[in-house]
Amino acid sequence: MKVLTILAAFIISVVLLSSASNVTRDVSAQGKKPPEVIVLGKEAKLGQITFNHLKHITENRSPNGAKQIACVDCHHTAQPAAEALKHPPHKTVWPADRTTTLTAELLDKDANAVGAVCTDCHARADAKPKLLPETPQVKFEGSAEPTVMTNQQAFHRNCGSCHDEVVKARPNLDPAPPTSKKCTTCHKKAAA
């Protein structure tokens, strides 16, 4: 009985050790995989947002559900400037001289393919962004004044606008994605 237990423990540790070394190998490789789940807005008063990054890139999540969302639909600065300019008001890319467009394949070869994350530029209200001298401003059609693109504006426009379009294009989708007005479907207080 004892021998069996020891044998079992030995087998289990061999299995654990070999899977651990696989993990080490992946991490030491040059590229990386896109993150699966990201917790955003840990400092938001209304609560943090659990964002399933993987589902947003592997499922067909375009408004009409016919295709996948391109990486640069969200990571708009991860493409050459000439490409960004095709989608006004976009013009800024990071780094400024980049020649590559973010894809899963590119990330697999170059771990820094994203270049910068949203909040490096879209700072919280009253904060200075890490990468730009000021939080960017955009003048949207129909508004008299330019909008300061804080983290709140950037994420709400990117995430909320698509969800609003999804619900328009596919009113019977169940569950519906959190539309702009459904604040606490996205923002949830972390369990204390």
Burial of 128 per CB tally in 10 Å (0-12, 13-18, 19+) = exposed
By CB under 6 A, name the one of 31, 47, 54, 57 that touches ligand HEC. Answer: 57
Cα-based angle 46, 162, 85 (whole degrees, multiple of 5): 115
By CB under 6 A, name the one of 16, 55, 67, 169 that touches ligand HEC. Answer: 55
Spatial distance between the Cα atoms of 18 and 170, rounded to a whole number of angstroms = 46
Spatial distance between the Cα atoms of 131 and 141, rounded to a whole number of angstroms = 27
Site for ligand HEC in 68-87 (CB under 6 A): 69, 71, 73-77
Least distance from C-beta 144 to ligand HEC, angstroms? 17
Spatial distance between the Cα atoms of 47 and 150, rounded to a whole number of angstroms = 17
By CB under 6 A, name the one of 46, 100, 109, 128 that touches ligand HEC. Answer: 46
Spatial distance between the Cα atoms of 163 and 176, rounded to a whole number of angstroms = 8
Spatial distance between the Cα atoms of 106 and 65, rounded to a whole number of angstroms = 25
Q: How many Cβ atoms from other residues are within 10 Å of residue 6's Cβ?
A: 10
Site for ligand HEC in 109-138 (CB under 6 A): 114, 116-122, 124, 131, 136, 138
Least distance from C-beta 40 to ligand HEC, angstroms? 4
Is 164 among the residues that bind ligand HEC (CB under 6 A)? no
Is 104 among the residues that bind ligand HEC (CB under 6 A)? yes
Is 54 among the residues that bind ligand HEC (CB under 6 A)? no
Nearer to ligand HEC, 100 or 191 (CB): 100
Alpha carbon distances (Å) from 110 to 34, 96, 113:
12, 17, 5
The site for ligand HEC (CB under 6 A) is made up of 34-35, 38, 40-41, 43-44, 46, 49, 51-53, 55-57, 61-62, 69, 71, 73-77, 89-92, 94, 102-104, 107, 114, 116-122, 124, 131, 136, 138, 149, 151-152, 154-160, 162-163, 166, 173, 175, 177-178, 180-183, 185-187
